[in-house]
Amino acid sequence: MPRVAAPWPILVLDSGGLTAAAANKEKARGALSASERGGTRVLLPSIVIAESTTASPREAMLNRVIQGTTVVPLDLELAREAAALKAEAGMSGVEHTIDAIVVATAVAFGGAAILTSDPDDISRLADQRPALRIRTLKV
C-alpha cells in the first residue's frame, strides 16, 4: 500500500496530546494514524514525559505511546527559543514554559502540527513565529 502523506510535516505531542493518545481518544488516534500512514515523525519533548507520567508500571498505554515517538531532549538552544517565545507572547509561569518548549520543538523542526488539549496557549506562542506553519490539533 503506498504511503499517503499526512497533512503536516511533523506531529508534536504536548501533555494533553500524549494522554489523549494513551486513552485512545478518537482525535488523537486519527492524528497518530495519519502520521503513521504518511511516514511522518511524531515528536515528544522530554519535558512532557516529566509532566505527564509518574513512572508507574500501571502506565502501560502511556509508555506504549512514548515508545512510538522520537523523544526530543531539552538542550540550551531549545530552552532559549522557548524563553524567547514565552517573552514575546507576554506569558510567564511553569505551565507556559512547558507549552513554550513544545512550540520551540515545532520551531526547531521547521514547523509542525501540535496535538494538544490547550490550543489557545499553543497558538499564542506559535503566532510568535509567523514564517513557520505551526498548527494546533485539539484533542
% of the chain beyond a pLDDT of 70: 98
Topology (CATH) of 10-138: Rossmann fold (3.40.50)
Torsion of CA 39, 60, 79, 130, to 10 degrees: 40
**What pLDDT does residue 115 have?**
98
Quickly count: other Cβ atoms within 10 Å of residue 69's Cβ: 21
pLDDT tens sequence across 85-130:
999 999 999 889 999 999 999 999 999 999 999 999 999 999 999 9
**What pLDDT does residue 55 have?**
80
Quickly count: other Cβ atoms within 10 Å of residue 102's Cβ: 33
Closest CA to 14 of 101, 123, 88, 127: 101
Q: Is this prediction's pTM over 0.85?
A: yes
The position carrying cell 500500500 is: 1
